[in-house]
Chain A
Amino acid sequence: LAKTTQPISMDSYEGQEVNITCSHNNIATNDYITWYQQFPSQGPRFIIQGYKTKVTNEVASLFIPADRKSSTLSLPRVSLSDTAVYYCLVGDGNTNAGKSTFGDGTTLTVKP
């Protein structure tokens, strides 16, 4: 499974756009990139997933360059409730999803 590297922490203010970048230099051809959000004492929650280029849903966008060696999670207009740990995962979703390698994630703190 591909190893990922993320910043340990980030600070932002309410209403700003936040971009969290994840490096995954040894991503494999079959690997997808998935981001999760986790609040204290809760299980991680799926945010977004992509394979290449750009994916957007109601909560976030995911930008993946052509070489796929990194990805950027973009959270538009964050609020205090977006304070959480964000994990980037890279794995082969083709056979039996779930054997994920979580790093230590990025702790995002949104300030008023």
Chain B
Amino acid sequence: ETGVTQSPTHLIKTRGQQVTLRCSSQSGHNTVSWYQQALGQGPQFIFQYYREEENGRGNFPPRFSGLQFPNYSSELNVNALELDDSALYLCASSEGGRRETQYFGPGTRLLVL
């Protein structure tokens, strides 16, 4: 059984650019959630995908968007990057409809200059 993987591990972008982050969920998990974690803070929920449909969204603007594929892997896209988007982006997978047990990936560290 493979765990949650994310790519890339680190990324540097400039303001105004666009970025795509990728996540492969743990085997058997059909739900993927994305979080943004700024330095010194807890993870903030961005959105969740369940069986390829968005299923809940946190307080993030529309320039944060995502996709989930038939194999339940997922992408997070951020357009028009801002300096404040610099953070650790975490992906977590879970078995939809079960207890709130999520399995997190190692994250992607994004730096916006």
Give A residues with C-beta under 8 Å from B.
32, 34, 36, 41-46, 49, 85, 87, 89, 91-105
Contact = CB atoms under 8 A, between A and B. Distances in A.
A87 B55 CA distance: 23
B42 interface: yes
A36 B48 CA distance: 19
Contacts of A89: 100
Contact of A43 (B4, B40, B98): B4
Given A41-B88, A43-B92, A46-B102, A104 B42 contact: yes
Interface residues of B, number: 35
Interface in B60-113: 88, 90-92, 94-107, 109
B105 A97 contact: no
A6 B45 CA distance: 19
Nearest to A46: B101
A93 B101 CA distance: 8
B102 A99 contact: no
Contacts of B99: 32, 34, 49, 93, 97
18 contacts: A42-B107, A43-B90, A43-B91, A43-B105, A44-B102, A89-B100, A91-B100, A93-B100, A96-B31, A96-B48, A97-B97, A97-B102, A98-B32, A98-B56, A98-B102, A103-B42, A104-B41, A104-B42
Contacts of B40: 104
Given A46-B102, A96-B97, A98-B94, 12 more contacts: A32-B100, A34-B99, A34-B101, A42-B106, A44-B90, A89-B100, A92-B100, A96-B31, A96-B48, A96-B50, A97-B102, A101-B45
Nearest to B9: A41
A78 to B, nearest CB: 21
B48 A99 contact: yes
